[in-house]
Structure 1
Amino acid sequence: MTPPPSWRRLGAGRSGRHHGEHYRASPHEIDMVNAALYLRRPLLVTGVPGVGKSSLAHAVAHELGWGDVLVWPITSRSTREHGLYSYDAVARFQDVALEAKQRELLDLQYRGRRRPWLPKHARGSATASMPDIGRYIKLGPLGTAFLCSEHGKPRVVLIDELDKSNIDLPNDLLHLFEDGGFEIPEIARLPENQRSARGRISVRGHDGQVLYISSNGRAQCEDFPLVIITSNGERDFPPAFQRRCLRLAIAEPTEDKLRDIIKGHLGLDLPKRTDDPSTSEGQALSLLELFLKLRKDKAVATDQLLNALHLFRQGIDLTPAKENRLRQALLSALSES
């Protein structure tokens, strides 16, 4: 098998660096990102599918050295809590029941005899103590970004395709963006004897790191993260939500920008024109010209062009000189089935 294209590296070969290093941001996009950073406001990025909205977040994180992007992919079932944290109450109470059963068996085994040492709270009782609640809490992408953003080095969080959410989610995020913090009620309700003496509880972050939250259950960010929200324009958002965001509309890349993208991903430096269309450069140029022609009449995405050029580099003939069903499939309109 040949190596995958740079935009399809998965598993250990995939990282935010690979995802964002070839993105070519326009001066206006750079200005809007900087404005969002200075104002500590979310950036709402709109544009047609495949224009590079998600890649912008990875490019910013890569360029500024702020680690991998924390990605929250939105579905119709996504809620505010999904982005902040999850609490596995079932696993916690299963562990309590298991511990109580083990102590009960130990009592039966050593009844009337000297038994092994047990912690003071467990002696003479088969009742299990509640395990540390932090073991059963995992922060979501947004919750992790809020808790681990530091002054001068905020985390980048991508809320991807918010227009796919239910109608309430944008409004549910309003106060979160204003306050820069949230509460975990399961921690806030803990009785005093279950609170940490250190005044904080360790929890798992979305990317696996250990983070600490106050034992009162309040998580407050030290510095507001860079929140990039993408939308394909499938629906409008409430004015109150839009007021709290800076808005950036990404246009389809120009021919010159497409050439830069192709060179960055595939190493192909396409000429402006060629006198011999039968050469490999001429054939690749003909695919670019075909893509630009198709884009005038129907919705096609940049990665469709990159897919076609990658296959062409593998020796598959996709040139427009002849009828080609594979080429037609690769460059079909996004609205076509």
Structure 2
Amino acid sequence: MTWNAYYRGDGTSRPDTRLPAPPPWRTFPNRPVASVFRPPEGLVEAVNAALALRRPLLITGTPGSGKSTVVEQVAAELALGPVLRWHITSRATLADALYRYDALGRIHAHRLQQEKARAGADTGDGDDIAAFIGLGPLGTALLPSERPRALLVDEIDKSDLDLPGDLLEVLERGEFRIPELLREGQDVAELRMWDSADKYRVERGHVQCTEFPFIVMTSNGEQELPAPFLRRCVRYTMPKPTAALIREVVRGHLQLEMTENGPEAELVNEFVRRVAAGESVAVDQLLGTLHLLHGADAQSAAKVRGRGERERLIALLMKDLSGA
């Protein structure tokens, strides 16, 4: 393979090597994606229904189909502020999403205070439990506000079987309580908000939203969700991609003018065929491949010569996600 403008595998130091510019979606801080996302047919209606009904929007689709991008675009268009994110794993719990109590940290701080007291040093303001409680992403989204916050609950189908059921009461009532504050008899507590240095004044351990947050939950369809949970959601399934839709996505992300013929068009058509056949390949894999083959760096792209080299690069980047 002759595409070796950077790493060459010969152990020779080349401190003056200039790396190529990154793809647009891999620049940091990340650029907003709202301007390049193209919602498929029916998604706009589903979003507006969820907004009007104050219900979560559950979007099911294959990895890389743009499910999590929807909330970014809605938040940008409606000025809902930074998107709060709750990434689901099999260990995720509702309690952690609402607030997090660092009991061990409080015990450690209490011991340090005792040691300072024995040494005759100033121990500060005493044992303030609020210093060890922080609101989670869902808890922050449920704070009273003039406009709803936007919350992404990513991959809800990867959760423990009980989590969707645990969410039901919170989704219906839009409120929760912090028992640790109630047990301590702390009527007023300044609690840190999620992913922020800001604090919110919580009274009597009770949080009640005034505007129900705009919640997007994504699912890859790996687990069947309970009917009572589904009843409380507006549901939308991302359609299988078409060649025309993917060409629009490529134009938006790469500013690459796509035609219906040529090697790039054939790569798009092959991607659509693989998805239709049930393979697990994502749009960002295709974008990365086209970026390297066409626009990563004029010098390096020119080095990808010959059908064999091109096919090796495509095979490297377009592997089925269901395998290792």
Measured against the shorter chain, the TM-score band is 0.7 to 0.9
CA RMSD of aligned residues (A): 2.3
Structure having the higher Rg:
1
Cα offsets for 1:262-310 (capped at 9, x unmatched):
111101011233xxxxxxxx43233223323433434222112101101
Partner of 2:113: 99
Q: Which has the higher mean CA deviation after the structures are superposed, 155-164 or 313-322?
A: 313-322
Structure 1: stretches of 5+ with no match in the other structure: 108-117, 123-127, 274-281
Corresponding residue for residue 276 of structure 1: none
> In the comparison of the two structures, how many residue pairs are matched?
299
Equivalents in 2 of 1:284, 1:323: separation in Å?
12
User: 1:1-337 alignment to 2 at 5 Å?
Assistant: 1-10=19-28, 13-14=29-30, 18-106=32-120, 130-147=126-143, 150-151=145-146, 153-191=147-185, 195=186, 200-273=188-261, 282-299=262-279, 300-312=281-293, 313-314=295-296, 315=301, 317=304, 324-337=311-324
Q: Residues of 1 paired with 2:177 and 2:37: CA distance?
A: 36
| CA distance in 2: counterparts of 1:98 and 1:331, whole angstroms | 54
Work out the CA distance in 1 between the residues paired with 2:117 and 2:225: 55
CA displacement, residues 170-220 of structure 1 (integer Å, 9 cap, x when unaligned):
0000001001011111111113xxx3xxx5311111121423243310111
- Taking the aligned partners of 2:305 and 2:255, their CA distance within structure 1 comes to 18
1:320 and 1:53, CA in 2 relative to 1: closer, same or farther beyond 3 A? farther
TM-score (norm 1): 0.82
CA distance in 1, matches of 2:105, 2:161: 32
Identify the range of structure 1 (204-213 vs 310-319) with the bigger mean alpha-carbon deviation: 310-319
Judge conservation of contact 1:47–1:249 (CA < 8 Å) in 2. yes
8 Å Cα contact 2:240/2:276 also seen in 1: no
Decide whether aligned partners of structure 1 residues 99 and 29 sit closer, same or farther in structure 2, where only a CA change above 3 A counts.
Answer: same
Please state whether the residue corresponding to 1:270 is helix, strand or coil.
Answer: coil
1:318–1:162: structure 2 CA closer, same or farther, 3 Å change rule?
farther
Q: CA deviation at 1:9?
A: 3.3
Counterpart residue type for residue 82 of structure 2? D
**What is the alpha-carbon distance in structure 2 between the residues aligned to residue 25 and residue 287 of structure 1?**
22
1:129 is displaced (CA, Å) by 6.3
Extract unaligned runs of 5+ from structure 2. Answer: 1-18
Matched residues in 2 for 1:255 and 1:159: separation? Answer: 29
- Deviating more after overlay: 297-306 vs 128-137: 128-137
Relative to structure 1, the CA distance from residue 297 to residue 320 in structure 2 (aligned partners, 3 Å threshold; closer, same or farther) is farther
CA-CA distance at 1:2 after TM superposition: 2.2
